[in-house]
Amino acid sequence: MSITTLIGAPLDLGGASLGVDIAPQTLRDHHIAEKLESTGLSIQDNGDIAITPRDQLQPGNPHLKYADEIIRVNEQLAQQTHDAVKAGQLATVLGGDHAVCLGAVAGASVALNGELGLIYLDAHGDMNTDKTSLTGNIHGMHLASLMGFGARELVDVFGKGAKIQTGNLVHIGGADLDEAEKQLMSQQNLHTFTMFDLLTSNLSPALQLIDDLASRVKHLWVSLDLDCIDEVYAPGAGMPNKKGLTYREIATIAERIGSTNKVVGVDVVEYNPHQDVDSKTAELSIELIATFYGKSYSWYTNYLAKNQSA
Ligand SMILES: [Mn+2]
């Protein structure tokens, strides 16, 4: 039985989306542990990392807002994902805003000596730096940091230098990309699949990118920003998306990722329970986590479990 460590990281300092701080508790209230256990995973809940409230902090450098606290939280988070992965466990991180991906992935990467591919599902690039960001919000920078670009203090979280090689990233779902991000993507020849690609080529090239990455690396991390999913299916995303992936598209991508059997950790971020409708986004988050790990959990599997004859 695979043991997965649940780690709550209720950080809301990386962006302006207030409400993501109650996401880990809301998912626990929706029985995330029991539901994941019903798929065959065994859960060890580490609880939440303590975050200093915004009103007790100064934003500091306007190009790297709340950097000190965000780095402190990510160092702690990295230690936890590191220890879980080092022990052969899966690490499931419940954000919080997307800036928690920095520590989550850094810890796993260090535990695996850098032999880690990253599948990044997001409507945004999250590849700005302190020099290119228009907002100074770190939840739009950490993916550049993980690849070694931008402010040193972010790049060097949990050990010096890049944690993910540029060739070992697959970015899927891009819809709102900034100019600087598009430049970095093309200069570095990153493997990307945007919503435009989906509309012109259908899903198959994205599945190929996943398969190709899985054949190059021993281990995978999946970072799911719920805003890559259409607001019809994920109304509780921090930044609701009208041109996002449909349920069948994200479910198919998740199933393909799960079929690699290489996923060592997942972070699910930018869930804002205040905006959720009928707990749709919470339920979908739980289903997708299970699917990334190669398990199945859905309305249908529940129905079968409840309606077994004798
Ligand atoms: Mn994001």
The CATH number linked to 212 is 3.40.800.10
CB contact set of 41 (below 8 Å; sequence gap of 6+): 1, 2, 3, 4, 90, 290, 293, 295
Which residue out of 130, 230, 249, 270 is catalytically annotated?
A: 270
pLDDT of residue 310: 61
Q: Which structure tokens are listed for 140?
A: 């739009």
CA 205, 206, 207, 208 dihedral sign is positive
pLDDT digits (tens, 9 = 90+) for 217-261: 999 999 999 999 999 999 999 888 999 999 999 999 999 999 999
Instruction: Work out how many domains the chain is built from and give that number.
Output: 1
CA distances for 138 relative to 95, 123, 150, angstroms: 14, 16, 11
Residues with Cβ–ion distance below 5 A, ligand 1: 98, 122, 126, 225
* Catalytic status, residue 130: no
Distance 88 CA to ligand 1 centre (A): 27
Per DSSP (E only), the strands in the chain are 3-9, 42-48, 90-95, 116-121, 169-174, 191-194, 219-225, 263-269
pLDDT digits (tens, 9 = 90+) for 210-225: 999 999 999 999 999 9
- pLDDT exceeds 70 at position 91: yes
Which residue is it, tokens 């540029």? Answer: 166
Which residue out of 63, 82, 124, 171 is catalytically annotated?
A: 124
Which residue is it, tokens 């220890």? Answer: 83
Which residue out of 21, 48, 130, 225 is catalytically annotated?
A: 225
Range of the domain at 37: 3-306
Query: pTM of whole model > 0.85?
Result: yes
